[in-house]
Structure 1
Amino acid sequence: MMMPANYSVIAENEMTYVNGGASFIDAIGAVTAPIWTLDNVKTFNTNIVTLVGNTFLQSTINRTIGVLFSGNTTWKEVGNIGKNLFGTNVKGDPIEKNNFGDYAMNALGIAAAVYNLGVAPTKNTVKETEVKFTV
């Protein structure tokens, strides 16, 4: 039996390989689909946001509430809160002007810190320790 030159007989499951194969995401999905449920994905994403938020939490508090309650607050410092919050990274180093990626990641980190403050109760020192009064 003669076949045309552009015709080949291959199994259907090999067609994706002929067409370029599966992408990396498809391969990961095929491996993790039986293991990960929607709840697992939600938990993973929440944990990532929590980890990022925890990293940015102290610096965000220091550059906002810390400025207001430092005891040395001036109107100039209050006016610079936004510049200091969004213009410096989590280590306190200035972000380069043309580095959009660092600005975006810094803003996402600050948003994650604010998210953490909104969804989880903070530690209450008075509730967890005995407060003694001296006379």
Structure 2
Amino acid sequence: MMMPANFSAVAENEMTYVVGGSLVDVLAPAMKTENWQNVSANVIKIVGNSFLDAYTSSILSQLFDGNYVPGDVIGFSVKNLDKAYNKGYNTFGGNWGFAVGALNAGMQILGGLSAIYTLGSGSIGLETKKGTLPTL
């Protein structure tokens, strides 16, 4: 029987399996469930902090600009979702545009929820022009 030139017949008992050496194998024994939960919470807080910085002044200006009309904050939020959706949709168009637009809008929603989680999970550091206020 003719075999291709790159064929090599190896008996099953001669095969070697290499296990280990990956990053997961190194970290998994050291990381416990509590550690992985802490990583997840910290990632959510990092995302939440970035959204707090980006949107706090915009939302507060909607509330305290002296021209508040009920629904301004919701309207502002819908405009942000619409802007994120349209950026993805207009970039790709068609089915891909719909998917990327929906992904962008979904990420905006997750970012907003992360900001709410960050606000509810502990105290935040308040900064003034002279420095940072003490945490209570």
Q: TM-score, length-normalised on structure 1?
A: 0.60
User: Which has the larger helix fraction?
Assistant: 2
Structure 1 regions of 5+ residues with no counterpart? 1-5, 130-135
1:93-108 aligned within 5 A: 95-97=87-89, 98=98, 99-108=101-110
1:117 aligns with 2:112: no
In structure 2, give the amino acid aligned to 1:84: K
Residue 80 of structure 1 aligns to a residue whose secondary structure is: helix
**Shift in alpha-carbon separation, 1:114–1:74, aligned structure 2, 3 A:** same
What is the CA distance between 1:60 and its match in structure 2? Answer: 3.4
User: Partners in 1 of 2:65 and 2:107 — Cα distance?
Assistant: 27
C-alpha RMSD over aligned residues: 3.8
1:1-80 aligned within 5 A: 8-10=11-13, 14=17, 27-75=22-70, 77-78=72-73, 80=75
Match of 2:94 in 1: none
Deviations 1:23-46 (A, max 9, x none): xxx943212122222222122111
User: Partners in 2 of 1:95 and 1:77 — Cα distance?
Assistant: 22
Structure 2 regions of 5+ residues with no counterpart? 1-8, 90-97, 128-132
1:87 aligns with 2:82: yes
- Sequence identity, in percent? 20
How many pairs does the alignment contain?
113
In structure 2, give the amino acid aligned to 1:10: N
User: Partners in 2 of 1:76 and 1:43 — Cα distance?
Assistant: 36
In structure 1, give the amino acid aligned to 2:75: N
User: Partners in 1 of 2:44 and 2:102 — Cα distance?
Assistant: 20
What is the CA distance between 1:83 and its match in structure 2? Answer: 1.1
**Shift in alpha-carbon separation, 1:76–1:54, aligned structure 2, 3 A:** closer
In structure 2, give the amino acid aligned to 1:110: G
In structure 2, give the amino acid aligned to 1:51: I
What is the CA distance between 1:111 and its match in structure 2? Answer: 0.7
In structure 1, give the amino acid aligned to 2:72: E
Deviations 1:19-72 (A, max 9, x none): xx89xxx94321212222222212211111111000001333344443122222
4+ runs deviating over 3 angstroms: 62-66, 74-79, 93-97, 122-125
